[in-house]
Structure 1
Amino acid sequence: MIICTTAAELNERLAGARKEGQRIGFVPTMGALHRGHMALIRASVTSCELTVASIFVNPTQFNEASDLSAYPRTPRADEELLIAHGCDFLYRPDVADIYPNGDQESAAAELDFGSLTERMEGAHRPGHFAGVAQVVSRLLDIVKPRVLFLGQKDYQQVAVIRSMVRQLDLPVMIEVVETVREVDGLALSSRNRRLGPQERKAAGLINRQLSAVAAGLLAGWDPEKLETAAMDAMQRHPLLNPEYVEVFTGHNLLPYRGGPAAAEIVVACAVHCGPVRLIDNRIAIPSNP
């Protein structure tokens, strides 16, 4: 695996592959890699001739300085995982290389995401998706991949990035890889390693409640009552503090309140478990063909 720390170096390394028309897959990450990230790497290695991963803890998508400073960083372990799973290039830049003109400049600054950012993470983390669109648009401009691989766990983020790609007319396909979970159903996350033993045990309740909401939706139960029941169940646990549980339609992320739906129906949540904020989702009803 070749490690590049600047956009110029990466572009020089990839110039030949681009000229030959090789299919380049790209997996953007913030490091502290785990099996979920490796599922994205495997998907890229399987379908692309070259795989590029990036590790960059983007300061513009963090709402709190404490969250940014606490984000886990494991550079040596990350390299070993990427090598073991067949990654060809690692782009590991500093802030100045990503934002050479300062972090106020963004190709996505004037984009309108409409209802995609009005609720859930958009409401609870103001400015978060502006930072996501900013860094992903910049990374796509640097890497210029044929395929961008993203994880389903960040469902709302995937929707925003899809919209950004359409609005900027970027020549990249997006492949979404299913969430990888622990035995008890907890979605893999870099933040999970900050959970203490009791917190980790408590976090398993998150998936159980999402699964219960998904089962209730399939049975035709009232979405609002299911949301309330899941919130109440998690609030009763002394180590869990849920911010939201929301049932929505996949195409516009607006609340789903029952009846037939052409788009997939999803339930998502954000929950504080001790000092760690976790997000997750379940696709309850797949899209109609």
Structure 2
Amino acid sequence: MIIIRKVAELLDFVELQKEQGNAVGLVPTMGALHAGHLSLVERAVKENLCVIASVFVNPTQFNNPTDLATYPRKEEDDFKMLAEAGVSAVFAPSVEEMYPGGPDAQPRHEFELGTAAEVMEGRFRPGHFQGVAQVVSLLFRLCSPTRAYFGEKDFQQIAVIRNMIETEGIDVEIVACPIKRADDGLALSSRNALLSEEQRAVAPEIHKALEYSVVYSREHSVGATHDTVVERIDAVPFMRVEYFEIVDARTLLPVEEWDESPWIVGCITVYCGDVRLIDNVTYKKEI
């Protein structure tokens, strides 16, 4: 595995892969890697002759400066794990390398991301998905991947990226990979490392409440299912639901009845102490 810090070096590496006819798989990450990231890498290695993983904490997708400052960074550990997983190259640029004029330089391209970017995370984190689209589109341009791999824990992000590549005319296959969980059900996340011992002990209640709600939903309305999830999680020490939305999986717009869509998911964000955790569950998928 080679470590690439400069855009020019990355472009040369990608050009060589294309000349050799190698399919390129891209796994974008912000580092602090865990088994969830490695499951994406594992699939990418199986499906592509060349795999590039990025390790870059993108400042333009953080609307909370404290969240950016406290985001875990473990570059040496990340490089070791990626090498052992079979990655061909890791792209780990500086902020200055990615944004030569600075992350707030103008003019900045405004992406057409559709309604999927306006609800849930889009409502609570203004500008977040524009920042995601900015860095992901840049990585797509630099790496020219055949396929790009994202985890379904970030369900909304995948929908937004799909909209972006359609409106921007980017030729890449988006591969959505299943959520990787700890043995107790907690969705793996780099943010889990920020939880105290007491918070980590109760955090699995998020997944337990979502699982319970799937069974509950079979005999109850959308509204009642929503309310039982929020009530169960809010009753747990340290926990506070920021939002829970039951939505059409394609548009991410809320549904009021179970027969409104063939594919319905519930997306949730919970504060466990000061740590913001996300998860989702599928209620219905008939496609």
Shorter-chain-normalised TM-score: which range? over 0.9
Deviation string 1:139-165 (CA, Å, 9 cap, x unpaired) is: 111111110000000000000000001
Would the aligned equivalents of 1:267 and 1:283 in 2 still touch at CA under 8 Å?
A: yes
Verify the 8 A CA contact 2:269 2:276 in the aligned structure 1.
yes
Q: Report the CA distance shift for 1:158/1:105 in structure 2 as closer, same or farther (over 3 A).
A: farther
Report the counterpart of residue 267 of structure 2 in structure 1: 268
Q: State the shift of 1:210 in Å.
A: 1.1
**Aligned-residue RMSD, C-alpha:** 1.5
Relative distance call for 1:198 and 1:269 in structure 2 (3 A) is same
Write out aligned runs for 1:180-191 (5 A): 180-191=180-191
| Distance verdict in 2 for CA 1:90–1:212, change over 3 Å | same
- The aligned residue for residue 216 of structure 1 is 216
Q: Higher mean Cα deviation, 112-121 or 205-214?
A: 112-121
Task: Determine the C-alpha separation between the residues in 2 that align with 1:166 and 1:280.
Answer: 26
**What residue in structure 2 maps to residue 69 of structure 1?**
69
The amino acid of 1:224's aligned partner reads G
Counterpart amino acid of residue 272 in structure 1: Y
- What do residues 64-100 of structure 1 show as CA deviations (whole Å, max 9, x unaligned)? 1111110001111101110111111000001111112
Gaps of at least 5 residues in structure 2 are none
* Residues 42 and 85 in structure 1, CA contact (< 8 A), matched pair in contact too: yes
Match of 1:46, as an amino acid? K
The letter of the residue matching 1:231 is V
- For residue 32 of structure 2, what is the aligned residue in structure 1? 32
* Residue in 2 that maps onto 1:162: 162
The one-character-per-residue Cα deviations of 1:110-159 (angstroms, maximum 9, x if unpaired) are 33323202221111111111110111111111111110000000000000
Contact kept, 8 Å, 1:151 with 1:179, in 2: the verdict is yes
Q: Residue type matched to 1:35 in 2?
A: A
Counterpart contact for 1:25–1:52, Cα < 8 Å:
yes
**1:169-214, Cα deviation, whole Å (9 max, x unpaired):** 1011110000000111100000001111110011010001111222
| Correspondences of 1:1-289 after superposition (within 5 Å) | 1-104=1-104, 109-217=109-217, 219-286=218-285, 288-289=286-287
Answer yes or no: is the 8 Å Cα contact 1:72–1:191 preserved in 2.
yes
Report the residue type matching 2:226 in the other structure. Answer: E
Secondary structure class of the residue paired with 2:225: helix
Q: TM-score, normalised by structure 1?
A: 0.95
- Retained in 1: the 8 A contact 2:122–2:128? yes
Q: In 1, distance between residues paired with 2:41 and 2:108?
A: 26
Report the CA distance between 1:105 and its aligned residue. 5.7
In the alignment, the residues of structure 1 paired with residue 31 and residue 208 of structure 2 have an alpha-carbon distance, to the nearest angstrom, of 27
Structure 1 vs Structure 2: percent identity of aligned residues? Answer: 38
Instruction: Answer with 251-260 or 195-204: which moved more.
Output: 251-260
| AA aligned opposite 1:187 | A
In the alignment of these two chains, the number of paired residues is: 287
The structural deviation recorded for 1:278 is: 0.3
Q: Given the two structures, how large is their TM-score scaled by the length of structure 2?
A: 0.96
- In 2, Cα distance between the equivalents of 1:61 and 1:149? 19
Taking a change above 3 Å as real, the CA distance of residues 245 and 106 of structure 1, as seen in their structure-2 partners, is: farther
Say if 1:230 and 1:107 are closer, same or farther in 2 by CA, change over 3 A: farther
Moved more, 277-286 or 260-269: 260-269
Which amino acid in 1 is paired with 2:272? Answer: C
Would you say the 8 A contact 1:214–1:267 is kept in 2?
Answer: no
